[in-house]
Structure 1
Amino acid sequence: MGFFTGCARLLLITFNFIFWLSGAAILGVGIWILVDPNMKDYMDVIKDASNDDEFLKTAAYILIGFGAFVFLVGFSGCCGAIRSSKCLLAFYIFFLLVVFAGELAAGIYVAVFKNDINSKLNQGLAESIKKNYKDKLTTAWDSVQVELKCCGGNSYKDYENSTWANETGSVIPDSCCTQNATGQPENLEGCKKLLGGTYYEKGCKDALENWINSHSAILIGVGCGIAALEIIGLICAICFCRNIDREKYSSN
């Protein structure tokens, strides 16, 4: 029995080392989403168009919280394995279940809100431009259009009869004009009135949806990967606890 107990202990310690690394991965993904330089501008536009909370940021905060919690879970597992303590292992199993439930909830949250927001972007982006481009979202929309190489929500025509167009007399903003090798638009004045120069004819809706889907897939993928590891950890911990009982029974 000592051989099997030793193997179970080694497996549990090895798993917890991998689990610690996964905690660092969770933290890294969550922080990356929050510090992505385009994150704020993209989410400002999406939030204004969909009237929904910043679900990606919320999910990222959840990942960061659970990533930090994973270090505590791993510590309990290692101590329980080294000391053959059923009490510590019981805490470890409980913590694993808590992390698993939290990641499952975060995954469901992202999937539900992703589909809901995508369904609202078609009309919402055009309304966002017509009402808010001149005011609070000018910088955000300019950043989205330059980075994603697009113009407007569904197309550049979303700027027609907008508050900004009526006040400036331009048809499209500078950020819709294509840039040359130096990063400057060619024939800017002509481009803004569609009288010369080139501009982005496609809208930003598809590009924003792709951005949402790619970031959501990363969050869900990381959560599923860690959940699979946690199932292995649960099995190792339960087997180790059973071997402890058998070893004690055999020694008596």
Structure 2
Amino acid sequence: MAHFATERTDDRYELFYKGDESFDTTQGVKAASGTPYPVSAPTAPAKLLAFFDISPSYKLVKHHLREASNKLSIDYELLQALIVAESGFNSTAVSPKGAVGLMQIMPATAERYGLVGDPKNSIEQKLTDPKTNIRIGARYLSDLINMFPGQLDLAVASYNAGEGAVQKAGNRIPNFKETQAYVKTVLQLYNGLKPPAAIAEQRRQPTRVRMELSGGAAGRGNMPSSSAPPVLVGLP
């Protein structure tokens, strides 16, 4: 749970935005300089997690991310990181090259995955629909991961530059400054969002908390006897 205040209430608080910065949760934030590739979100791990806590554009689509993650066995945090880098969770974003939506999909790529236009809506218009965009983008990313098993950096590079460019470079990240910065940024965001294996495993295990009742209720007849067992509460 993220907490915000206008001053540092205690040592757990750190600066999120200064007075000369602006933040519109419907539009994201100004391009950040903490990564090689500029993105429209804060990039320090604590600030990035807080961004997801308060961003309505993320909350509107996170169930689509979860569905794609489960169906295609892609880490949820990887999808988060890629969309932060691609669009900052702006579903109507269009790049100068014509990539559309949350995962910045080129219409030609969408056609490869069966998306067609109709008299009411063009392919470009259909790609602004979050469910459609995430479905196609996640399938493309899944295919790239399978194409370069165990080499996530090459899959991410292919998402940015195309798998042909990676293959032409000898199955290495192409010597494109944008692609190299993009790969570093997506993996940095991914590592910041993904909990360590030990923490992830701990989250999957049920937790039991010991509670002992004490204090002002003594002598009022509503305290458990000293021989009563401790109260255990199961947390999901």
Q: TM-score range by the shorter chain?
A: under 0.3
Q: TM-score, normalised by structure 2?
A: 0.25
Higher relative contact order (CA 8 A, sep 6+): 1
Q: TM-score, normalised by structure 1?
A: 0.24
Larger radius of gyration: 1
